[in-house]
Amino acid sequence: MGFRIGVLALQGAVSEHIDAFRLAFELMGSTGQSSVIPVRNADEIPDLDGLAIPGGESTTISRLIDKNRMRGPIEEFEGGIFATCAGMVLMATNVDDPRLTTLGLIDMNVMRNAFGRQKESFEADLKIRGFDSPYHAIFIRAPVATSCGTGTEELSRIEKGIVAVRKGKHYALAFHPELSVDTRLHVRFLEGLHE
C-alpha cells in the first residue's frame, strides 16, 4: 500500500524530512507506490495521507501558515501529522508564549525553548514506548510538553519533561528524527496512517 506524504515547506529541515520518508518507504518496501512532496500551497494538503511539520521558529511558521491560508486545511486534515520540534509547539493546545497561535490538535501544554539557546543543544538515547532498543535523538532549541490531556499518549520522557507524544494518527516530537539514521519513528507513523 502506498503513501502520499507532504512536508510543510515554509521553513526548517524540509529536504531532510523528504529524505527520511523516502528511506522509510524503502525499508517498508513501498517505494514504487509512495511519494513525498514539499507542500507550499494549501490546496495540496487534503489529498495527502500524512503531513510533516518540520522544526524551525514556531512563531514564524505560525505566521507563514496564516499568510499562506493553510491553518484551516491543516486543522481539518484527516490524515496524520508528524510534527517535530517547532512543529510540536504548533500542535499543542497551550504554549508558554502568548504571541503564538497554535493549531491545537494535540491536548498538551508545551514550553518553547525548554533547554535554552542553540548552544544548549544535545543528543540523548531515549526509551520510546513500543521500541525494544533506545532511540538516539538530536535536540536543537527543543521544547517539552509539561503535561498531556485526554487521548494524548506519552511515548517518551526525560527529566525536563515529555519529548514524544501521539494522539491518533498524529505524532509530536521535541527532537529531530529527520537528522537521525534511525527511521523507526517515520515507519511507525506511516504504519499508523492505514490502520
Give the Cα separation of 75 and 160 in Å (integer): 29
Mind listing the pLDDT tens digit for each residue in 24-74?
999 998 878 899 999 999 999 999 999 999 988 888 999 999 999 999 999
pLDDT at 170: 98
For residue 44, the domain's CATH number is 3.40.50.880
Residues that are catalytic: 85, 176, 178
**Residue found by looking up cell 512536508 in the block:** 7
* 84 pLDDT tier (thresholds 50, 70, 90): very high
**Count of domains in the chain?**
1
pLDDT at 97: 85
Is residue 1's pLDDT more than 80? no
Mind listing the pLDDT tens digit for each residue in 13-22?
899 999 999 9
- Which structural domain range is residue 21 located in? 4-193
Predicted TM-score of the model (pTM): 0.95
- CA torsion sign, 65 to 70 to 72 to 75? negative
